[in-house]
Structure 1
Amino acid sequence: MSSSTNAILIGIAISDIISAFYYFKKGIHDLQITGLDKCESAASYKIALVNWVMAAFTDCFRRSSSWLCLLLVVMRTIVVNKVLDKKFYFLSDAKFGWKLTIMTIFISSLLTIAYVFRYQIEDVGDIQCGGTYVDLFWIVEIGDYSKLGKIARHLHLFLTGIFSKVIPSFLFPVFAIILTSELRRTSRLRGGVSVGSEKTTKLVIYMTIMTIVIEFPIGICKILRGLLHDNTAITVSTLNIESIFDMIYVPLTATHFFLCFAMSSQYRNTVKRTFEFSDKNVKVTTLN
C-alpha cells in the first residue's frame, strides 16, 4: 500500500535527477574548454536557449528537493505523533503526498521566474571558428547592463540563500531530532524497535546531514554575494566555494532514489505502480 511518504520520496528523487542534468552537462562542457576562446564558451542560439532552460529547471527542482525533504520530515513527525488521531489520517494518504509534491514544485517554479529574468541571451556576433564564420550567443546577467537588473539579481541571491538554503538547514535538524525521538518513543511503547522505524531514522539522518553539509554553506555564499556584491574578492571566492559544493551535490543527490528504493518495499511498489512496471518484468534486489 502506497503512502504520502513514498509519494514525496519519489518527488524528491525526480527533483534530484532533473536538477543534476544541468550540472552534468556543464561539467562536461567545462572540461572541453581550454581557454577563453569564444568558439568554445559561446554556442548557437538554440543551444544557448536550451542551457538557459536547463539552468531554470535546475533552480526550480533543486529548491523543490530541499523543501520536499523538509516537508517529509515535518509530515512524518506529525503522523507519528498523531498516529491515533483520525483527523490526521489524511496526511498518510498517497494522494495528499502527490498534491503536496506538485504544489511544492509549483511554488518553487514561481520563484524561478525571478531567476530566469536575471539573464538574457546576448549575440556575440560572427566569429571565425574552424575556418568558417558562425553567429554565436551566450547567456549574460541583465544586471551587468541595468542598475535595476543588478538590484533584482542581488535581491534574488539574498532571498534564495535565506529561504532555499539557510532556513531549511536550521529547520531540518530540529524536526529530525523531534521525529527520531517520536519514533523511539513509539517503538518503546510497542516493546521493540521496528525495522521500518530504523530505516526511516537512518534516511532522515542522511538527508539532514546532506542538507547541512551542502546547502547551508551555499546559502551563506549566496547571502554574502547578495549583500557584498561590490566586493570582487567575496564574489569570486563565494562562486568558487559554490562550485566545489555543487560537485559534491550531484553524486550525493543521485543516491536518493537508489537509497529509498533499497530501504523501502512500499517505495518500490509505489515506483512500479507509478511507472506501470509489471511484477513479472521487474526484479528487485534489496540491500542487507
Structure 2
Amino acid sequence: MQLESLAAYYDYCEENVWLDDNDMSICDYTQIYDDTCTRYPSFGKPMRAWFELISLFIYDYVMIFYRIENYTSLLGLFFNVFHLMVLSRKTMRASSTNVIMIGIAICDIASMAYNMKLWRKLYKEENDTDLIETCEMVDTWFEKNLYKAFYQVQEAGRWCSPIFGVLMALVRYLTIRFLSVSDKFSQAKTGVISVISVFIFALIFAVLTWFRYEYVAYDEPWYPWVGCYDWGYPDGVGYPVYHEVATGFLPNLYVYIGIIFKLPPTILLPILTALLISELVKAKRNRMRLSNSSAQRSGGDRTTFLVLMMTILYVIAEIPNAFVNILEGLFPGDSGLISLLNYFQYFASLVVNLTGVIHLLVCLAMSSQYRDAAKKMLGILNFHPDRIFETSQTSQSSSVSRRSNRTM
C-alpha cells in the first residue's frame, strides 16, 4: 500500500469525524453510512479508523507471508512425514520422549496438510482466469462442512503441539531430577498415555467449536454466466451460496482455549527449560568429578540445545496465537478485527512450518540413535564399499581353496 494512499485515507477519516477524540460512540448509523461499523461494531470511531489504517498498511506484507506459507507447508509436510516414519520404528518408540515427538509430528502434519488446500486459491490468484472465477461451481453445504472439519483437525493439532512441547520438557526434567523413578517416566507407556489424553481433550474442544458457527444460504442464489453452459450447467438453474453465521453457542470458548492450550506453554516452557538446564549442569558437574569423558559432556550439551531450540520456537509461534484466540473470543462479532488478527497468524504459521522442518534437522544432528534409524530405514546403514571389496576378495579366495582341495 502506497504512503500517499494511507495519508489520503487518514485525511478522509478526519473529514468524517472518525478520529475525533471526543466522539467515542459505538456505531449508531445516524450519520453517513460507515462500513467499518459492520466490521468493528464493538469499537468507537477512532479505534475503527486505526484498525482500518493498520489493515491497509500491512495487507501487502501479509500476502507475502501468505504465499511463502504455502511453500513452507509443502516442505514441512515432506520433512515431517519422513520424521514420523523414523520415529515410528521399533527402536525409536521405546522411550516416552520419542513417543511425544511422534505426537508433535502428527500435529505438524495435520496443520500443514490443511494448508495445502490453499494451493488451489493461490493458483487462481496467480493466473487470474476470469472464466475459472466466473464458472467455477460454488461450494456446496457438504463441501463447506468438510473444509470446516479439516480446519478443526488442524486447529486441534495446533492446540496439542505446544502442550506436547511442555510434556517433553517435563518428562526430561523429571527423568533427571528423580533418578529413583526415572525408568517410569522414560517408558513408552508414559508417552502413549500423555499423547492420547491430550488428543482426547483437544478433540472435545474441537467438537464444541464446531457448533459455534453454521452455514446459511444467502437469499440470492448463484447463477452461472451465460458462457459457462459449456461446463454442463443446466439453463436457468441457481445454486445456493453459503456463508458462515455465528450461532451464539459458547461465545467465550476461544478465550478458554487460549487460556488452556496457548498461554500455559508460553509460561511453562521457559520455566521447565531453566529447571532442566540447572539439572543438566548439576549432572555434568557430578560426571566431571568421576570421569573426564567428553562424550558424556557433549550428550548433555546436545540435550540442552534441543530443549532450548524447542522452547524458543514454540514461544515465538504460540504467543501470537494465544492472544489471537483470546481476542477472537472477546470480540466474536467483529469480523474486521478477526481478519486483522488472522494477518498476524500468517507469520506464526510460517514459524510453525519452519519449526517442523527444524525438528528433523535437530534430531539428525543430536541423536545417533535417530541417525541410525534413518539410515536403516533408507537401507544405507550397512552400506560400506570397502566391505563389499573385502567380501569379494574373501569369496574369491574361498573359491580357489575349494578348487585346490578338489585337485588334491
What 5-or-longer segments of structure 2 have no aligned partner?
A: 1-90, 382-408
Deviation at 1:267, TM superposition (A): 4.1
What does 1:1-288 align with in structure 2 at a 5 Å threshold?
Answer: 2-26=94-118, 28-30=120-122, 32-33=124-125, 42-83=138-179, 85=180, 87-123=181-217, 125-128=221-224, 131-132=228-229, 133=233, 140-143=243-246, 146=247, 148-149=248-249, 152=250, 154-191=251-288, 194-229=297-332, 234-267=337-370, 279=376, 281-283=378-380
Going from structure 1 to structure 2, the CA distance change for 1:229 and 1:51 (only over 3 Å counts) comes to closer
More strand by share: 1
Deviation at 1:235, TM superposition (A): 3.1
Going from structure 1 to structure 2, the CA distance change for 1:118 and 1:64 (only over 3 Å counts) comes to same
Does the Cα contact within 8 Å between 1:169 and 1:215 map onto a contact in 2? Answer: yes
What 5-or-longer segments of structure 1 have no aligned partner?
A: 273-277
Deviation at 1:140, TM superposition (A): 4.4
Going from structure 1 to structure 2, the CA distance change for 1:228 and 1:25 (only over 3 Å counts) comes to same
Does the Cα contact within 8 Å between 1:13 and 1:257 map onto a contact in 2? Answer: no
Which letter maps to 1:3? S
State the Cα RMSD in Å.
3.1
Going from structure 1 to structure 2, the CA distance change for 1:141 and 1:197 (only over 3 Å counts) comes to farther
Deviation at 1:204, TM superposition (A): 0.9
In structure 2, distance between residues paired with 1:25 and 1:41? 16
Going from structure 1 to structure 2, the CA distance change for 1:254 and 1:282 (only over 3 Å counts) comes to same
Going from structure 1 to structure 2, the CA distance change for 1:209 and 1:127 (only over 3 Å counts) comes to farther
Going from structure 1 to structure 2, the CA distance change for 1:225 and 1:128 (only over 3 Å counts) comes to same
In structure 1, distance between residues paired with 2:252 and 2:129? 32
Going from structure 1 to structure 2, the CA distance change for 1:3 and 1:201 (only over 3 Å counts) comes to same
In structure 2, distance between residues paired with 1:65 and 1:280? 26
In structure 1, distance between residues paired with 2:258 and 2:207? 16
Where 1:128 maps in the other structure, the secondary structure is coil
Instruction: After superposing the two structures, state which structure 1 stretch, 112-121 or 63-72, moved more.
Output: 112-121
In structure 2, distance between residues paired with 1:236 and 1:280? 44
Provide, for residues 201-245 of structure 1, a one-character-per-residue CA deviation record: whole Å limited to 9, x for no partner: 111111111121111112112212322445565433212212332
Greater gyration radius = 2
Which letter maps to 2:284? S
In structure 1, distance between residues paired with 2:334 and 2:150? 29
In structure 1, distance between residues paired with 2:134 and 2:350? 25
Does the Cα contact within 8 Å between 1:121 and 1:140 map onto a contact in 2? Answer: yes
How high is the sequence identity, in percent, across the aligned residues? Answer: 25
TM-score normalised by structure 1 residue count: 0.80
In structure 2, distance between residues paired with 1:233 and 1:4? 43
In structure 2, distance between residues paired with 1:94 and 1:262? 23
Which letter maps to 2:96? S
Instruction: After superposing the two structures, state which structure 1 stretch, 160-169 or 37-46, moved more.
Output: 37-46
Deviation at 1:251, TM superposition (A): 2.8
Structure with greater contact order relative to length (CA < 8 Å, sep ≥ 6): 1
